[in-house]
Structure 1
Amino acid sequence: MCKHQPPCPTAESADRESARLMASHPEQGWSLLCNGVLLFEDTGELLPDGQIIAPHRQEMTAA
């Protein structure tokens, strides 16, 4: 899917979230990355192969 240089990390890479943004729909709560990953506002992800990555947002705690 990625056609620019240097290429974005693949959907299987640990740093897949650093791929370029292709489409953003904040009103719907998701964005499409260059590597085919759907990134949701709760930090969950849907990979191109259908694998679901659970949200991994860090919770804020009171000091």
Structure 2
Amino acid sequence: MAKEIKQLRKQAEKAARLAKAAADAEVSEQLRTLARAFQSQADVLKSKKRAGRSKRNNRDPGGLTNGT
């Protein structure tokens, strides 16, 4: 999952760079929107990764509790 997050962030950076360089205002805005979408996807994956890690850390490793 870390690889996907890194790739999405790279794509976001690339789209943002292209948006700055675009001469056409509409194209520039579309690229900025794309950059935000890539960044949002990366953020969601990162949150899911953290949530999964948190769940694993909260499990009872020795099975000592009975859930009550």
Q: TM-score, structure 1 length as denominator?
A: 0.21
Q: Which has the larger radius of gyration?
A: 2
Name whichever structure is richer in helix by fraction.
Answer: 2
TM-score by structure 2 length? Answer: 0.21
Higher fraction of strand: 1
